[in-house]
Amino acid sequence: QVQLVQSGAEVKKPGASVKVACKASGNSFLGQNMHWVRQAPGQGLEWMGWVSPNNDDRRYVQKFLGRVTMTRDTSTSTGDMELIRLRSDDTAIYYCVRRISTKWDDYFDYWGQGTLVTVSS
Amino acid sequence: DIQMTQSPSSLSASVGDRVTITCRASQSIGNYLNWYQQKPGKAPNLLIYSASSLQSGVPSRFSGSGSGTDFSLTISSLQPEDFAAYYCQQSSNAPYTFGRGTKLEIK
């Protein structure tokens, strides 16, 4: 059974940084990229980007360039997403996600439980 | 970026009803279309992948169809546990975009 367990809720002031951690059970992420998706309160889902298992490749959505860093540690089956220069509109639930990608199929099959990040002065 | 237009944004229905949610992509995405269900306070849950493949463990009353730009999710006979939000998502090209969601409510 695949399980992704994320770190707890955070409250941050505007301009601060936050790091959200995600720990995968077993070898569920071995050899696979880790993706991050966020969801503002009462809103839809927004894909943020991914990082490769060995941190040698990553792709971020353009709107987050310069503010987000995603890293991996395969020795501990963990991944982190750090967002800097926080703004009030960064208030959201952040999910780490496993993506399955084959020649024919491409989907997000396992999601962490989510981490609420609240940005407020 | 590929835009995903989902409709309706909300839907009221009764237990036992058949409902259909549609999703349109701004360009052809082949069959790289997935559907997720999200209940309040929970992470999304994969229902359908590759437009029409049922994820393991998902009840057979859920089905998906379509290709290219037009897709649909059908629930053949609504059960009480199906009242939730539903999202489509394209996995053809990064950034992997989602529809804005359909909130399915009890009539």
What DSSP string runs through A47-98? EEEEE-TTSS-EEE-GGGTTTEEEEEETTTTEEEEEE-S--GGG-EEEEEEE
pLDDT of A1 over the 80 cut: no
**CA of A54 vs chain B CAs: smallest distance (Å):** 20
Q: What is the mean pLDDT of chain A?
A: 93
Closest CB to A111: pick one of B44, B99, B100.
B44
pLDDT, one tens digit per residue, over B11-63 is: 999 999 999 999 999 999 999 999 999 999 999 999 999 999 999 999 999 99
Interface with chain B: mutation pick from A35, A45, A51, A116, highest number of B CBs within 10 Å: A45
Average pLDDT score over residue span A30-54: 92
Q: What is the mean pLDDT of chain B?
A: 97
Interface with chain B: mutation pick from A33, A95, A107, A110, highest number of B CBs within 10 Å: A107
**How would residue A26 be classed by pLDDT, with cut points 50, 70 and 90?**
low
